Amino acid sequence: MNNHKYGVENLLSILSENNFVYSVNDSFECADVQGYAYYIGSFITLFKKNNSNSLSALSIEETSNEHLFQILNMVLDYIGFPIFIGDSVDKVYTILGKPYHTNTIMYDDRLLYLISEDYWVSIGVNNKKVLSIDILFDCEIIDNVRKIMDDS
């Protein structure tokens, strides 16, 4: 996996060049951290902290819309993440190994990986297929998420 300090503006520029439209929420909170959320449809959310140009968090959900599916793969490819929506859980285990934690939310299993202190991944799986991917690239957000998990 590549270095994960990705410029949000670069990614948004690439998306715009490919006629993908996004909206912005300039007062969004991710795990008690203030910043900006960029929505591409309702299936992709990019988050950057206030006073930062780097991608702090990314959330991607499965879609049956082919146009949005292209965007999902483009974003994951841009950040060099080797797992895509629709991949098998076996591919996840082959690449990332055994998760440090698993839980079930509604009908999906969540596989949690702490790649490094500033690289945390949660993969939603159902019927042995990847349905969602959440990636955190920020120590403060990761620490806050882990505290929330420990408290629940």
What are 86-119's pLDDT values in tens digits?
A: 999 999 999 999 999 998 877 789 999 999 989 9
Per the structure, the complete domain to which residue 26 belongs is given by 8-151
Residue 19 lies in a domain: yes
Residue 1 lies in a domain: no
Residue 3 lies in a domain: no
Is the pLDDT at 21 greater than 80, yes or no? no
The mean pLDDT value for 65-73 works out to 82
Residue 2 lies in a domain: no
Residues 6+ apart with CB under 8 A from 114: 100, 120, 142
Q: Residue 13: pLDDT band by 50, 70, 90 thresholds?
A: confident
| 90: helix, strand or coil | helix
Residue 115 lies in a domain: yes
Residue 32 lies in a domain: yes
Q: Residue 26 corresponds to which tokens in the numbers above?
A: 């300039």
The mean pLDDT value for 71-75 works out to 85
The tens digit of pLDDT for each residue in 78-93 reads 899 999 999 999 999 9
Residue 29 lies in a domain: yes
The tens digit of pLDDT for each residue in 121-145 reads 999 999 999 999 999 999 999 999 9
pLDDT at 144: 95
Per the structure, how many domains does the chain have? 1
Residue 15 lies in a domain: yes
55 contacts 45 by C-beta, under 8 angstroms:
no
pLDDT at 3: 47
58 contacts 46 by C-beta, under 8 angstroms:
yes
State the amino acid at position 104 in one-letter form: T
